[in-house]
Structures are given as structure tokens and as C-alpha cells.
Amino acid sequence: MAYRDLRDFLATLDENGQLVRLTDPLRPEPHFGAAARAVANLTDRGPALQFDNIDGYERSRAVLNAVGSWPNHALMLGLDKDTPVKEQFFEFARRGDDFPVEVERADDAPWREHTLDGDEINLFHLLPLFRLNRYDAGSYIDKAAVVTRDPDDPEHFGKQNVGIYRIQVKGKARLGIQPVPAHDIGLHLRKAEERGENLPMAIAIGNEPVITTIAGMPLAYDESEYEFAGAVQGSPYRIAKAPLTGMDVPYGSEVVIEGEIIGGVREIEGPFGEFTGFYSGGRRQPVIKVHRVSYRTDPIFEHLYIGRPWTELDYTVALNTSVPLYRQLKQDYPEVVAVNAMYTHGLLGIISVRPRYGGFAKAVGMRAMTVPHGLGYCKVIIIVDDTVDPFNLAQVMWSLSVKLHPAHDLVVLPDLSILPLDPSSEPPGISHKVVLDATTPIAPEQRGHFSQEVDAPAETEAWENRIKELLR
Amino acid sequence: MSTPTIPDTCPRCDTHEVSLLTESPVPGRWSMYLCGVCFYSWRSTEPGYATDPATYPAAFKIDPVDIPKMPVVPSIPARRA
């Protein structure tokens, strides 16, 4: 089912009625951000938006919301567009078991068609860059695959990192970047700066959606995103060498920017409207000097609207956050049935579990806070029984409403680590966390009156299938 | 085509180190400007909320004096011996 490139994926969206082309002349601001915000406001089954007639450009195109709905997410996985979220979760997790899948290398990448060097580069002419939210510091690139290597072990393929980081475009060939210290690129930059070096990098813009999804997934430091993408797409991921830096980048990218983070330099970056629904504030962050750009003819600028959930960001980090948590918890606790950590990138998560004995569910909740992603997220963990679908919020709310006893079922853990972007953290980066145990008490914890639950009438499942057929 | 008039003042930090960042690929459609102090950039065709120093909201204004005091992320490590 692998998509060759972004264009191939857009063609599939089109065939499935999940792509809208806007051909009337539009100014980027405020229309592109507003349209992407609007489609997210209206529905969780919305289309990708392609802008074909951009004020000030001859032939540029911009695409937003490519994976910004459950049908588009299902199509990314090569599934029927009506596949329920829970089924998408289990399919994603199942394919992860095939990791690693060795990559396929090729030399004739379509982005080798055109090259700009040094003073020839003007990113604003190459791509229709624009401001997304009202008080962003400027134009950003926020959906590119950023590739760096470990300066102490540059030949290690697994330690080469592919990640998504926000990038402020500060000049025609000058960028600001936010490499979070805890992320792999943060480790690479620290090592480069300890060595007194710059950090070479490639920024691949406009990709098929699987690598974008995996690049935003919390993998182990030496696990290759390309080898995981191969597992998820069910065939080897095709990559090519970036000509200047030698970074491995997606074969099908629209644009490949090469340059380096300047060691030892920090400069004001932001604010930027973030996935928390709040602006990030200004910080002094690293700077990138761009040296070369390679690109396809008439490259498509693929971009992502981000702001108060839900937006495309929330779809792209929904299952790629839930699945690693699920896999890590399942190693110690096979009773874990499913994990829904798709609220604000896992700041809130819901875990369904078959408790072994009284107190077990609370232990699972606390474990979620100590897996790698949990160190920066998992501020609120809700535990529900194995009979409750954690992706069905009506069922989760039912569990909380009837099973949670505030005197017994809240576990508050003081002053744990959290991502500094959480606006409630105080000081930034520190917060209490809470487990809400909404499972049915079991021995030795005997309390409440749960013995006479209303079960479904006989033949309900058969009727569900019959009604589904009638609705087709 | 005529050279665009570069605004005198940055909408965000009210300093006067504004330069021309770029002009539209199709000549004359728009210009973009860059502040050399706070690196705010804007397009000439944007709504007033992004371009007008007088109405730019106080909560998002930046005082240049505060820039050196902003958090450094990530911190710069010591060089290895």
C-alpha cells in the first residue's frame, strides 16, 4: 500500500472524495490558516485542502490538512476510509511488530531535478510560506522531516534521527529551530556543541504521510524512523542521499533543504501557536544557515495547521503516541487492552485494562507516567475496565461517572516532569499528575454495588451488523 | 516596478531596524519585511492586526530589553576538553 510520495497520497484522497481544491485567487493570510482551522472545527471526517491559486505566485501550491481527519488517517494506513479509530489503533500496533524493515535506497530522487546554492536561495519564492495564527512570529515550516546524525557515531543508521520540529523562517536562507533537549535532535546538537562543531542537517518538505507520522513518534534513540515506516507501510521505505550533507531523506520529498545548526548561537524565536492551544512565548533558540536546496518542478508546500485541539496535528500524533505507550505497558502488564493517548499528544490518556487485583489499575496508571513519553506527558491518566473502549468517550465518561469514588480512586503524584509548553505547569516543566481509576473495584478492594450490570439484550451484535448493512 | 516603501517601525517591538525580506515572485503583489531586533516578519497584505504597531496587542509586544533575558532552549553545553 506504500505511497510513492505526497502526490500519490493526494491522488488517493481525491479518489475517495477527501481532497478539496481551492482554485479562486487567495491571499495566504488569513485564508490558509482560517480554512484549515475551519475544516477542523466542522468535522472529524474532513478533506485535505489544496490551494492552487496563491496571490503573488505563478504556479505554487499549498496543501493543508492532508491527514487531518480519521478517513484520511485510515487512507494513510491503506485501510478503508470508514475504518473505526480503535481498529486503526490495533492495525497500527500490529504492523509495528514487523519493525525493523530494511530500507530501499535509490539515487534518482525526483527532488534532484533542480538545485539552488548559497545566495541563489530564497525560500519565500520557492514555497508560499505564510503566517498560520495571528500572533505567530512569522512564517513557519512545521511538518517537515528534519534529519540529523549523531556527531559521535555518524555512521550509525539507527541513531540518525528523523523528527518534526517547528522552524521559523527568518530570512531567505536562514531559519530558527526548536530542538527540545529531551528529543533526539537535542542530543545531537548537544554533542555537536560539546565538540565545538555545527550540526549538519536536512529538512525534507512535502512527504507521503507515513514518514511524517513516524517522525513524530517517540521511538527509542537508536531505532530508525525509516525502518519503522517500512513496517507501518508494509514494504521497505525508499530513501535517497541528500547531496551536500549525505543525510538519508525520503525519496519522494517535494523539497530538500540542507544546511547546519550554528553551534553555540541562540537567538529569539517565537512565539508560535502550539498544540496546547496556547502560544509558546519567546525563547532564545538555535539558528540554521541554509546552504543548498533541491526540489521538484513546481513543488507543493505541505503545511500543518496547529492550535487549540483538535487540528491536523492531533490526528497525526494520535495513534503514533498511543501505540508506543501500549507496547511499552503491555511488556510489563499483558492485561493492558488498549491505550488512547490522543488528547494533546498524551497529556491526557485513557488506558483499558483487565485488573489482576485491587490496586492494580492504579499501578498501571503510574507506570504510564514513567515510560519515556510519559516523562513529558501523561498528566492525567484515566484507567477503565477491559470491557470499556477507551476510544469511545461516551463509555469512558460512563465509567468515570459511576465507577470512580473520589475518596479511593484519585492518586495525585506531586511535582513530576512535564513538557514546559503545558501552560499549567509551574514552574514550566513541573506539574503534579493524577491517576483516575475508573475500573470496577475487585478483591481485596470490595466496595460499591457493581454486581448487577445491565448487559446487552441477546442478538444485539447480530443487530449491529444488520443495521450497519442497512446503512451502507 | 517601484521600490516598496519599507515601514519605519516593527509592529511587535517598535524598533526601527526593519528591512525588506523579499518581494512577491509575481512583481508588485506584496512585500515582506523583517525586524532585525526581534525577527518578527510580516507581509504587506496582511490584516492590520499583524502589521500595525499602534494596535499590536500589548500581550504580544516584545521589549528589546527583555530579549537577552529570555530562556535559552536548549542550553549551550561546555566544550569537551
Cβ within 8 Å, pair A56-B30: yes
Q: Tell me: cis bond preceding B57? Omega within 30 of 0 counts.
A: no
Buried/exposed code over A30-67 (b: 16+ C-beta within 10 A; e: otherwise): bbbbebbbebbeeeeebbbbbbeebbbbeebbbbbbbb
Query: What's the burial of A226, exposed, middle or buried (CB within 10 Å: 0-12/13-18/19+)?
Result: buried
What are the structural domains, with CATH classification, of chain A? 6-314 (2.30.110.10), 318-438 (3.40.1670.10)
Question: Would you state the pLDDT for residue A105?
Answer: 98
196-235 in chain A: CB under 8 A from chain B = 196
Query: Which residues 6+ apart lie within 8 Å of A40 measured at CB?
Result: A46, A65, A68, A305, A310, A311, A312
Residue A210 host element (H or E):
helix A209-215
Alpha-carbon distance of A81 to A92, in angstroms, equals: 15
Q: In this structure, how many other beta carbons lie within 10 angstroms of the beta carbon of residue A196? A: 10
Nearest to A79 by CA among A96, A66, A92: A92
Q: How far apart are CA B10 and CA A459, in angstroms?
A: 69
Judge contact between A365 and A383, C-beta under 8 A: yes
Read off the amino acid at residue A402: V
User: Distance of CA A387 to CAs A125, A339, A391, A436, Å?
Assistant: 55, 13, 12, 17
How confident is chain A (472 residues) per 10-residue block, as mean pLDDT? 95 98 97 97 97 96 98 98 95 97 97 97 98 98 98 98 98 95 92 98 98 94 97 98 98 98 97 96 96 98 97 96 95 97 97 97 97 94 97 98 98 96 93 98 96 95 95 86
The strand pair at A140-141 and A410-417 is best described as: unpaired
Instruction: Give the pLDDT score at A181.
Output: 82
Question: Cell digits for A262?
Answer: 550554528
3-class DSSP assignment, residue A96: helix
Of A57, A171, A196, the CB nearest to B21: A171
ipTM of predicted complex: 0.97
The segments of chain B whose pLDDT lies below 50 read 1
**Residues of B contacting chain A (CB within 8 angstroms):** 12, 21-22, 24-26, 29-30, 32, 34, 38-43, 45-47, 49-50, 57, 60, 62, 67, 70-80
How far apart are the CA of B12 and the nearest CA of chain A, in angstroms? 9
CB pairs A-B closer than 8 Å: 113
Please give the distance of CA A286 from its chain centroid, rounded to a whole number.
22
Neighbouring CB atoms inside 10 A of A327's CB total 16
pTM (two decimals):
0.95
- For residue A94, which phi and psi values (nearest 5 degrees)? -60, -45
The pLDDT assigned to B2 comes to: 60
Q: What is the pLDDT of residue A367?
A: 97
Q: How far apart are CA A8 and CA A318, in angstroms?
A: 23
User: A131 — contact with chain B (CB < 8 Å)?
Assistant: yes
Contact A273, A306 (CB under 8 A): yes
Bridge pairing between strands A48-51 and A19-22: parallel
Return the SS3 of A117.
strand
Least CB-CB distance to A194: which of B22, B60, B80? B80
**Residue A170 forms contact with B (CB below 8 Å):** yes
Contact assignment for A56 to B50 by CB distance below 8 Å:
no
Question: Under DSSP, is residue A76 helix (H, G, I), strand (E, B) or coil?
Answer: helix
- To test the contact with chain A by mutation, choose from B1, B37, B39, B60 the residue with the greatest count of A C-beta atoms within 10 A, namely B39
Residue appearing with cell numbers 533526539: A184
Q: Give backbone dihedrals phi and psi of A363, rounded to 5 degrees, phi first.
A: -65, -40
Question: Strands A238-241 and A104-105, how do they pair?
Answer: parallel
Cross-chain residue pair A58–B43, CB shorter than 8 Å: no
